[in-house]
Chains A and B, each alone.
Chain A
């Protein structure tokens, strides 16, 4: 009888873990395999990609909230011989004007910036749910004979290091309720963490990966 008690306690504990799994937080992290079109245009590599999945119901609600939203697009190319490098950066800054009922969009990239306005969510997705012929920076030592895998990482509302520091201050200093007894026990002490470090890095992260391809000649 006594021997069964630890087993029961452990089963009960596993049930609680399962409940916890179902109650996990809602932040989305997805990796999708998709053909990323890389071509040469006037001697430069350019990239095209559709990413409508980013505009989830949750993100659409955020876009209509009246607060500023940001989409950061990072393009990396990983060769078989060398590691990944950032070859392109693009940011969409989107603000819904609750008074004029229109979306203000700012497209920022290396060396350029452009503002525009759209009226509807569909228009917004059509303009910001893809990149077309995004120029990539070539590195001087790029081996054109190598095979490359293109990775496009899209971060929804990425947080700045300063924001992360402030949030960590909240999380590192909980409410002060001291634990009773020793910190050492069967599973150690339990602490209450409800916001994860990665949850404050961005609202969502989508990563699109292509298969290995050789660079288009030009």
Chain B
């Protein structure tokens, strides 16, 4: 009995107010049942026009509002009352058909529809609280950097169309979601004739420079490395994103600079170009490789043998949003690579597993690859998805055959799948699966940085370094590159708060990961492999924060990897 009181109140409210659907949907009693209240009143069938929530008998004449009628709760007989509910309209008032629309009024209240001539000029008369004007023109105000036509291109309304308030609100959110504006307001101005309006979009621009990435760490092979990624997401007010990122250490560094156009002239097509340059250094775990000590042996190598390399090139990309949930993209990568390392003194036939064999082609080479990617995203929230899935399938090809003319030949296939399930108390269980396969044409078929790296997927494992690569540079002490990847993760999320002023939302997470990689063919021996495949399970614990400048993940696993 008790638990139905609130639903029935909401239901009664819904039935009597046409506009309540916005606010009341989430509280509506799904069963739609009604029961009598204690005093016998039936709110759902109570007259629309009596004292709110009260049975008519509860309202005594003369107990009206203290403000002399302003903000009074409608009494029987006022507009909105149903004729059959005892307090019908007065004789000189027309009887409203439904108690909501077209009620007659006195003293400045609504005129009955059909009597006011000007109302006939409205495009729609079905609800005076949902005007349906014709949009005559659209004006943008307040923009000093962003082009007006760019702003208009993100609106889902065009001149000549009937104004839809819901579309206006969605357009406003869409503009806010771009990140260019601190605030977006919409208002209407009279048009050239009644029923026609000018839609005015008032924007307040914001700083559009944000942090994309922050890299800090140290290891035995790289005493310290640090880097930053920054983007201006509204470059020159054109709606393009200009991004720059770098990572630098004592031994290696890289720089990336790119421009991305997420919506070309307001269409569903996107395009981007990114330039990259890197001076890197790969180290071998020579202590773990069984190499002859004799300096005269053709397979002898110095203990401090390193692979120095340079990469310079560009990545061109284009994409198409098929619909809000599906996207395809195409990417062309072209690089010039220089690599220097020692080779066996008497050819490779007697020393197949010499250091850096298969990492890169010696001296100068060219990498040209073409990638295709399909993405399906049904997640309900970007920060903490509580339901929905995210599927990414990609294929990358490099070949010596025209038109690619690459010195490297390989094909790389990847699939990743993430699914979120909402549990009790808004806790979330998330399952992630990643699979990958890289096929080489020969031992130097693919450059080493295209291989799967264990640190990119695995979390913390005692005495097993799993630091991820930063901008494709390996700063860790392991060389666990693989050709076949399978990684599975289960994450449990506990929301902590969702009302902060700066830290809007936060949640704790605990995750366990299973990652398995097959040793890349170019790794010299099984000993060089860190042995992670013997203990492929790793763990992470951390917190994620949603802030005005982006999402932050404080990963205990990352710090454990750095410290231990």
Which residues of chain A have a CB within 8 Å of any CB of chain B?
Answer: 2, 5-6, 9-10, 13, 16-17, 19-21, 23-26, 29, 41-44, 48, 61-62, 64-68, 70, 72, 85-86, 88-91, 93, 95, 97-100, 104, 106-119, 126-128, 130-141, 155, 158-163, 165-177, 179-200
Contacts and interface: CB of A to CB of B under 8 A. Distances in A.
Interface stretch (B98-106, B142-150, B402-410, B518-526): B98-106
Given A72-B23, A91-B23, A189 B213 contact: yes
B270 A175 contact: yes
A104 B119 CA distance: 13
B71 A128 contact: yes
A49 to B, nearest CB: 11
Given A114-B78, A139-B5, A188-B544, A198 B17 contact: no
Contacts of B215: 185-186
Contact of A160 (B23, B52, B229): B23
Contact of A89 (B10, B70, B79): B10
Contacts of B194: 99
Nearest to B59: A42
25 contacts: A17-B502, A26-B182, A90-B52, A98-B189, A108-B19, A112-B80, A115-B79, A127-B71, A130-B67, A132-B70, A133-B65, A133-B66, A140-B37, A160-B21, A163-B170, A167-B173, A172-B388, A176-B327, A177-B262, A184-B456, A185-B213, A187-B552, A190-B550, A193-B546, A198-B504
A6 B562 CA distance: 13
A106 B170 contact: no
Contact of A6 (B170, B216, B375): B216
A194 B549 CA distance: 8
Enumerate the 7 nearest inter-chain pairs by beta-carbon distance, A residue then B residue, closest first: A188-B553, A108-B17, A66-B188, A175-B262, A182-B468, A65-B187, A111-B46
B192 to A, nearest CB: 12
Contact of B48 (A20, A112, A141, A188): A112
Contact of B547 (A17, A42, A140, A174): A17
B185 interface: yes
A118 B108 CA distance: 7
A107 to B, nearest CB: 7
B549 A20 contact: yes
Contacts of B103: 115
Contacts of A95: 128-129, 131
Nearest to A66: B188
A192 B228 CA distance: 16
A176 B197 contact: no
Interface stretch (B297-305, B318-326, B439-447): B318-326
A113 B26 contact: no
Contacts of B27: 86
B450 interface: no
Interface string B39-62: 100010011111111100011100
Nearest to A130: B71
A176 to B, nearest CB: 5
B330 to A, nearest CB: 12
A137 B382 contact: no
Contacts of B38: 138-140
